Chain A
């Protein structure tokens, strides 16, 4: 189990790493555009295209594997946490199964769309000329695919009753790490 879990975690970390770089690019690109427009009267070309098609799409979908790995999906615990443990593990199983199947389907469908955009050589016409945008469509099958993969692997680990071997990245907190307040 361990080596495969490690491999998946490595893929997830790679995809999130790219998303992280995209966040920095988004913020600096917009800041530089504003400065250039305001101070030097020469705005950058195609900022909106880069921000929306390149950065936003990557930030929205590439970290999905990490979200699944860290279990940071937004879900309602209210009722489920009151149920007996045995029922809760059945629910966890069903949730993972549904996640894996649905995300795999979305990955396949967005993958088809990406292939057709690749075939068409999709681009945008900007003032500076042609900007190729078909690669941005491949972010979706990658992100949804990783999420499906992580969920499927957790499902297998749960079924076999073994450790998934996925790395658990914890976010350190500058204030709350030492003592947890009474919540």
Chain B
């Protein structure tokens, strides 16, 4: 009998916490209760501690965010940076994050040995991913609809890419931890925060946000290894148990992405009900956002090749885009979490051989 501890730096009732429940159920079911999983929300390892924590076996499984450790995970991070491709989608359906998850899963498992090597170097085995909804402008007492509206605004920027976005449009990118956004919007230190809609619920931003512009700046957070297993633990397991963990990783990937996806529409609906104003970006602004995304993808590719040691940067960019296109088609008819889970399993994870993977 195997008992595994799963550490994740989010509350128990969050999208991630609920996904971990799915993970535990999937693993128990698939292994015939031979492998049991206990979730540890926030108390065992914080978000930045999760990667080293799984490496040193403080937890057996962990929800690892690769952007915390760019030197260790530069290739994985480069895949995440492809998220701006979402903005370039020809006919956006809102399901882009579901497709991006699939594309990233497929590319990581099948086409990116250096990505898997990075996890191996951290004594971890990758078994799943996940992607958040699109980033929006959540503003207080100001609205963003035109290119000019962005000029001189103070925008909360989560990472270097958002700072580039802000500067491109003549705004200021202010780096603040997400749990300080509430106060900063309230006091007027920020005009807007570039965050996905579920953060309205997670951080109670409803109370301060007055105006929302959806899909600007766009892009999504994809730097997620949602169920990394400690490699020593993995190697000591039977093939059947490993297969159960892959099944679990698949469930985790689908549940994380699906929970975020449904949280997104729920958060938007709740905001409308509360009377928060929603604004449509002008076609000029949308075009400018697309133009920025195309340009920034080139910038990022150059940066990662020259500065951050991703040797295949151009090749990865070239290979990844068609896979993402394929996934836009694959997710088109998906309407439940179970369907999504089946899709990821059939397309990607079922093809992973538990006997040889992660050795």
Residues in chain B near residue A45, CB distance under 8 A: 163
**Residue B257 is within 8 A (CB to CB) of chain A in the complex:** no
**Residue B175 is within 8 A (CB to CB) of chain A in the complex:** yes
CA distance A130 to B70 in the complex (A): 10
**Residue B69 is within 8 A (CB to CB) of chain A in the complex:** yes
* B70 in complex: contacting residue of A37, A43, A124, CB < 8 Å: A124
CA distance A122 to B70 in the complex (A): 7
One of B108-116, B152-160, B225-233, B346-354 at the interface: B152-160
**Residue A17 is within 8 A (CB to CB) of chain B in the complex:** no
Size band of the B side of the interface? Answer: 20 to 34
CA distance A41 to B189 in the complex (A): 11
Contact call A127/B177, Cβ cutoff below 8 A: no
**Residue B71 is within 8 A (CB to CB) of chain A in the complex:** yes
Contact call B70/A46, Cβ cutoff below 8 A: no
Contact call A48/B176, Cβ cutoff below 8 A: yes
* B172 in complex: contacting residue of A41, A120, A123, CB < 8 Å: A41
**Residue A78 is within 8 A (CB to CB) of chain B in the complex:** no
**Residue B173 is within 8 A (CB to CB) of chain A in the complex:** yes
User: Which residues in window 162-176 of B have CB below 8 A to A?
Assistant: 163-164, 167, 172-176
Contact call A125/B159, Cβ cutoff below 8 A: yes
Closest residue on chain B to residue A46 by CB atoms: B175
Contact call A122/B69, Cβ cutoff below 8 A: yes
Residues in chain A near residue B70, CB distance under 8 A: 123-125
Contact call B71/A121, Cβ cutoff below 8 A: yes
Contact call A47/B71, Cβ cutoff below 8 A: no
* B152 in complex: contacting residue of A41, A47, A117, A122, CB < 8 Å: A41
Contact call A127/B174, Cβ cutoff below 8 A: no
Residues in chain A near residue B173, CB distance under 8 A: 43, 127
**Residue B314 is within 8 A (CB to CB) of chain A in the complex:** no
Contact call A123/B71, Cβ cutoff below 8 A: yes
Residues in chain B near residue A113, CB distance under 8 A: 52
Chain B proximity mask over A64-100: 1 for CB below 8 Å, otherwise 0: 0000000000000000000000000000000000000
CA distance A126 to B175 in the complex (A): 10
User: Which residues in window 129-154 of A have CB below 8 A to B?
Assistant: 129-130, 134
**Residue B308 is within 8 A (CB to CB) of chain A in the complex:** yes
**Residue A42 is within 8 A (CB to CB) of chain B in the complex:** yes
Chain B proximity mask over A9-42: 1 for CB below 8 Å, otherwise 0: 0000000000000000000000000000100011
Closest residue on chain B to residue A127 by CB atoms: B163
CA distance A88 to B189 in the complex (A): 55
Residues in chain A near residue B72, CB distance under 8 A: 120, 122
* A127 in complex: contacting residue of B152, B160, B189, CB < 8 Å: B160
* A125 in complex: contacting residue of B152, B157, B167, B308, CB < 8 Å: B308
Closest residue on chain A to residue B154 by CB atoms: A37
| Shortest Cβ gap from B278 to chain A (Å) | 27
Contact call B164/A37, Cβ cutoff below 8 A: no
Residues in chain B near residue A37, CB distance under 8 A: 154, 172, 174, 189
User: Which residues in window 10-63 of B have CB below 8 A to A?
Assistant: 52
14 A-B contacts (beta carbon < 8 Å): A42-B172, A43-B173, A43-B175, A46-B175, A121-B71, A122-B69, A122-B72, A125-B160, A126-B163, A127-B160, A127-B164, A130-B307, A130-B308, A134-B71
List 19 extra interface pairs beyond A46-B175, A127-B167, CB under 8 A.
A37-B174, A37-B189, A43-B172, A43-B173, A43-B174, A48-B176, A48-B177, A120-B71, A120-B72, A123-B71, A125-B67, A125-B70, A125-B160, A125-B308, A126-B160, A126-B163, A127-B163, A130-B308, A134-B71
